[in-house]
Structure 1
């Protein structure tokens, strides 16, 4: 049994807290909002994000980071924009032997840094691990079969996290390609937004399949350019996460895209989804990074133009379909 502290009381944070409690760990959940802590203590349910899923009394809620001092495992389940500031606050409280696991998926705006690097900059003396893969909170919270991968510069830490988190409902693999795992989990959100836009416009299954397939191609293209291994993008944090995020209505990125494809203004669509849409912010970061590195990402580029420049989704489809002739197989393609 481990002492686990989950930072973030959103859907995925609560689902991981429930999973850890279900298999014998001592769990504390932190939120920076005192009112949220009080509500969760009283209602024992994350009604907005996980309605109907009851939270056992044994799971403790707190608005202080003090319990981190005594925690074996600290799961950082905060939105991508809050990773650095949360890590900065955490470093004053973290215990000597604690391992950090980040489940946020994205890249830091302006710096283009992955979150493992961000956390290492803020808390340099502690191993940190990233967890990624097809893992909707709604299903994890109910104990439905889920498989993910973990990666770290510290292999022993990754294996320790695998030992702590793996159970009959939650299978955990270890992957040594930290860059690939992080980028696959981050960039698939962009393709999920694009897939939602395609659904909203009314495109069929043929277009959706092509979008996902060519989407993983450009994810791998940027990922390899950043130092990732191409085979990683054929794995859980690549194709696995891409498939579930592009096809499920659990996906806020897809739901957001559907609204945009139906003609709802971008800001209004964000408000209607009612929670952080990581694919929206990641689209701009990835677009700027691809331009900086000279990497061709046509789906990301067209999605950026729709979300940030007001381009019509139908015009974006037309421009994607009308691109110059290409060979399908590239040297960075997934094998």
Structure 2
């Protein structure tokens, strides 16, 4: 019997672009899906038009049912929480109040909670200690998943058998999930790459060119590795899909909200103007990552520069000049 047999019905909390895309991926893997949206209008659009408003031009099959009532997800065998990191606490608390404990909860958030310095699985475990937790991360755009384009990501849990079972249950020919027993490494890769994507966008926005971007990404990845290894991450995890793979994707494409945010900063927009009403997770992660690194004696000059720019303490050109003026040393 397959390890994935017990995960016949998947609950997805959050019907934004990424949540809808993951619901589609689970459906294509042969699972029944219950998709929860806070907005009743979103639920009605899915029911009537078979489309999620934030993932247009992609049809949602009848195997995906939509609801605005969290309790309707009670029969699900596993949950994917597809909300931003800064909203994960409220979502988890609501789930714990409305749903029975027992089924594993997979976070798809990529960040660190700004107020607490906690990673997604820590937030879930603190609020809902009765459930097993996992993290799903890696180089993936919602639009690509929605269109069924080939994508590979990582799913990690402290229990490797659980990670393997969930990965098998949610994988399909176009959506490949590799399993891992290193959730912290996967979480750190997903959080730090957003900060690096902002930095890469700034460099391109300033007109510094591709060579500068490549150098910045390489040095930024060295920061990611230092931070990750100091927090017990497996170096192999950081070199994998959820680390290096996601860095490559997010630092190279305007499809990345974080890269687009950095691009706008580099072109002279203020942090508020650069956001343009859209969420860039790295803008929340940079300050807490830099603060954590400083308190632990870990060098992260690029993350510190991004945090200072976002806080308005320094301009983009001044920040980049300071990075370029750092002492030369052995790589």
Q: Same fold (TM over 0.5)?
A: yes
Within-5 A mapping of 1:147-162: 147-162=152-167
In the alignment, which residue of structure 1 is the partner of 2:285? 282
SS of the counterpart of 2:115? Answer: coil
Tell whether 2:35 aligns with 1:32. no
1:27-65 residue CA offsets vs partner (Å, 9 max, x unmatched): 111112223322333333234x32211222442111111
SS of the counterpart of 1:185? Answer: helix
Tell whether 2:131 aligns with 1:126. yes
Within-5 A mapping of 1:255-274: 255-271=260-276, 274=277
SS of the counterpart of 1:131? Answer: strand
In the alignment, which residue of structure 2 is the partner of 1:108? 113
**Whole-Å separation in 2 of the counterparts to 1:295 and 1:160:** 36
Answer yes or no: is the 8 Å Cα contact 2:10–2:34 preserved in 1.
Answer: yes
Answer yes or no: is the 8 Å Cα contact 2:42–2:52 preserved in 1.
Answer: no
TM-score normalised by structure 2 residue count: 0.94
Answer yes or no: is the 8 Å Cα contact 2:253–2:259 preserved in 1.
Answer: yes
In the alignment, which residue of structure 2 is the partner of 1:9? 15
Q: CA deviation at 1:179?
A: 1.2
**Whole-Å separation in 2 of the counterparts to 1:23 and 1:34:** 27
> How many pairs are equivalent?
325
**Whole-Å separation in 2 of the counterparts to 1:178 and 1:5:** 21
1:301-333 residue CA offsets vs partner (Å, 9 max, x unmatched): 1111211124221222211111012220xxxxx
Tell whether 2:240 aligns with 1:249. no
Aligned counterpart in structure 1 of residue 301 of structure 2, from 298, 303, 311: 298
In the alignment, which residue of structure 2 is the partner of 1:333? none
Answer yes or no: is the 8 Å Cα contact 1:30–1:63 preserved in 2.
Answer: yes
Q: Which runs of 4+ in 1 moved over 4 A?
A: none
Aligned counterpart in structure 2 of residue 181 of structure 1, from 183, 186, 203: 186
**Whole-Å separation in 1 of the counterparts to 2:191 and 2:312:** 22
In the alignment, which residue of structure 2 is the partner of 1:46? 52
Q: CA deviation at 1:92?
A: 2.7
Q: CA deviation at 1:75?
A: 0.4
**Whole-Å separation in 1 of the counterparts to 2:102 and 2:271:** 44
Q: CA deviation at 1:249?
A: 2.0
Answer yes or no: is the 8 Å Cα contact 2:153–2:176 preserved in 1.
Answer: yes
TM-score normalised by structure 1 residue count: 0.93
Answer yes or no: is the 8 Å Cα contact 1:7–1:74 preserved in 2.
Answer: yes
Tell whether 2:156 aligns with 1:164. no
Answer yes or no: is the 8 Å Cα contact 2:34–2:73 preserved in 1.
Answer: no
Aligned counterpart in structure 2 of residue 23 of structure 1, from 22, 25, 29: 29
**Whole-Å separation in 2 of the counterparts to 1:325 and 1:196:** 24
In the alignment, which residue of structure 2 is the partner of 1:331? none
SS of the counterpart of 1:4? Answer: strand
Q: Which sits farther off after the overlay, 302-311 or 139-148? A: 302-311
Q: CA deviation at 1:97?
A: 4.0
Q: CA deviation at 1:230?
A: 2.0
Answer yes or no: is the 8 Å Cα contact 1:3–1:26 preserved in 2.
Answer: yes
1:234-255 residue CA offsets vs partner (Å, 9 max, x unmatched): 1111110000001112101011
Tell whether 2:232 aligns with 1:213. no
Tell whether 2:154 aligns with 1:137. no
Aligned counterpart in structure 2 of residue 200 of structure 1, from 191, 202, 205: 205
Q: CA deviation at 1:96?
A: 4.7
**Whole-Å separation in 2 of the counterparts to 1:18 and 1:233:** 27
Note the residue ranges of structure 2 that are not aligned, 5 or more in a row: 1-6
